[in-house]
């Protein structure tokens, strides 16, 4: 995976996190520190590199990969399993996401967002 793809996956992973975790907050006031971005990037890289064959087979662009990785790993009502993919492919991608466990955003005392 090249750096552009990794940045795209990570950006959309974090967008999905903000959308699902911080409903009603003003995005302009949200500060994501480098350590949060680095942690998200590491998970995204591991997910994509570990599942490249299935990711290529599903035909989704990197934006959707990042978004669906966040939603699926955290058990939201949408995710890879709800995208009309072939059933076995859905199952493999869902299982791969679930293997990362759940994570959440929280706001630190410094008013910056961190992953838990």
46-68 pLDDT tens trace: 999 999 999 999 999 999 999 99
Strands (E), the chain: 105-107, 113-115
Q: How many domains does the chain have?
A: 1
Rounded to two decimals, the pTM is 0.91
Map tokens 């793809």 to a residue: 5
The count of C-alpha atoms lying within 13 angstroms of the C-alpha of 39, restricted to the half-sphere facing its C-beta, is 15
Domain span holding position 106? 3-115
Taking only the tens of pLDDT, the chain with its 116 residues reads 899 999 999 999 999 998 888 765 555 457 889 999 999 999 999 999 999 999 999 999 999 999 999 999 999 888 998 888 999 999 999 999 999 999 998 888 888 889 98
Q: Is 15 helix (H, G, I), strand (E, B) or coil?
A: helix
Burial classification of residue 18, based on how many CB atoms lie within 10 Å of its CB (0-12 exposed, 13-18 middle, 19 or more buried)? middle
């Amino acid at each position: 995976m090249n750096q552009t793809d990794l940045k795209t996956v990570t950006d959309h992973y974090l967008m999905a996190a903000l959308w699902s975790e911080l409903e009603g907050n003003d995005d302009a006031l949200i500060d994501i520190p480098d350590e949060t971005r680095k942690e998200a990037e590491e998970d995204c890289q591991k997910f994509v590199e570990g599942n490249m064959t299935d990711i290529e087979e599903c035909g989704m662009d990197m934006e959707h990969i990042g978004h669906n990785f966040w939603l699926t790993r955290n058990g939201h009502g949408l995710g890879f399993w709800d995208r009309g993919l072939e059933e076995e492919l859905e199952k493999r991608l869902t299982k791969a996401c679930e293997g990362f466990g759940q994570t959440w955003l929280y706001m630190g005392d410094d008013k910056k967002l961190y992953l838990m």
